[in-house]
Amino acid sequence: MKFEKGIKMLIVSSYPPRECGLATFSNDIANAVRIVFGDTLPVEVCALQNSEQQFEYNDEVTYILPVDSLEHYRMIAEKINERNDIALVCIQHEFGLFRGEYGDYILSFILALNKPIVTVFHTVLPNPDEKRKKIVYAIADLSDRIVVLTKNSQAILTNDYNVHKTKTIVIPHGNHSVLWEQKDKLKEKYDFSDKLVMSTFGLISKNKGIETVLRALPEIVKKHSEVIYLVIGKTHPEIIHHEGEKYRDSLIDIVKELHLENNVIFVNEYLQLPQLLEYLTLSDIYLFSSKDPNQAVSGTFAYAMSCGCAVISTPIPHAVEALVDGNGLLLKNFDNPAEFEKAILYLIENKEDRITMEKNAFSLSHATNWENIAIQYRLLFDQLTNREDDLRFNFPPIKLDHIKKLTTDFGILQFSKFSQPDPESGYTLDDNARALINMVLYNKAFPNINTLKLANTYLNFIEGIQQNNGWFDNYKGFDNQLTKQNEEVNLEDANGRALWSLGTVIAHRESLPAEMILRAEKCWDKAIKRIDDIKSPRAIAYALKGLYHYYSAYKEEGIRQNIEKFADELLHHYHINSAENWCWYEDYMTYANNVLPEAMMYSYLVTKNPKYKKIAVITFDFLLSHYFMKGQLKVISNRGWFKKENERVFYGEQPIEVATTIIALDLFYEVTKNKKYKDQLKLAFIWFLGNNHLKQIMYNPENGASYDGLEDKHININQGAESTLCYFKARLIMEKYSEN
What CATH number did the domain enclosing 104 receive?
3.40.50.2000
pTM of the model: 0.92
Shared domain check, 187 and 164: no
- Amino acid residing at 732: L
Quote the mean pLDDT of the chain: 93
Does some domain include residue 379? no
Shared domain check, 712 and 583: yes
Does some domain include residue 388? no
Residue 82 has pLDDT above 60, yes or no: yes
Q: Are 360 and 327 in contact (CB under 8 A)?
A: yes
pLDDT at 632: 83
Question: Among 368, 389, 412, which residue terminates a domain?
Answer: 368
Segment 348-367 mean pLDDT: 95
Q: Cα separation of 368 and 304, whole Å?
A: 13
Shared domain check, 326 and 259: yes
Question: Which contacts (CB < 8 Å, 24+ apart) does range 331-335 have?
Answer: 334/209, 334/290, 334/291, 334/293, 335/209, 335/212, 335/291
Segment 713-733 mean pLDDT: 97
- Looking from the CA of 533 toward its CB, the CA atoms found within 13 Å total 16
Q: Cα separation of 625 and 622, whole Å?
A: 5
What band does 243 get if pLDDT is binned at 50, 70 and 90?
A: confident
Shared domain check, 256 and 163: no
136 sits in which H/E element: helix 130-142
- For residue 126, is the peptide bond before it cis, meaning its omega torsion is within 30 degrees of 0? no
37-52 pLDDT, tens digit per residue, is 988 899 999 999 988 8
pLDDT at 3: 41
In a 10 Å sphere around its CB, with 0-12 CB exposed, 13-18 middle and 19+ buried, how is residue 190 labelled?
middle
Does some domain include residue 460? yes
Shared domain check, 424 and 295: no
Shared domain check, 191 and 103: no
Our CA angle for 202, 207, 209, nearest 5°, is 85
Shared domain check, 204 and 285: yes
Question: Among 170, 203, 235, which residue terminates a domain?
Answer: 170
Does some domain include residue 380? no
Does some domain include residue 176? no
Shared domain check, 513 and 629: yes
Segment 225-246 mean pLDDT: 89
Does some domain include residue 1? no
Does some domain include residue 390? no
pLDDT at 639: 59
Does some domain include residue 220? yes
Residue 644 has pLDDT above 80, yes or no: no
Shared domain check, 127 and 191: no
Question: Among 147, 170, 193, which residue terminates a domain?
Answer: 170
* 6: DSSP letter: T
275 sits in which H/E element: helix 273-282
Segment 588-617 mean pLDDT: 95
Shared domain check, 271 and 240: yes
The domain that contains 428 carries what CATH number?
1.50.10.10
113-137 pLDDT, tens digit per residue, is 999 999 999 999 999 999 999 999 9
Domain count, the chain: 3
Shared domain check, 479 and 345: no
Domain range for 408 is 401-737
In a 10 Å sphere around its CB, with 0-12 CB exposed, 13-18 middle and 19+ buried, how is residue 201 labelled?
buried
Please tell me the least confidently modeled range out of 144-148, 390-394, 694-698, 712-716: 390-394
Please tell me the least confidently modeled range out of 156-165, 559-568, 620-629: 620-629
Shared domain check, 141 and 17: yes
What band does 391 get if pLDDT is binned at 50, 70 and 90?
A: confident
Segment 393-420 mean pLDDT: 96
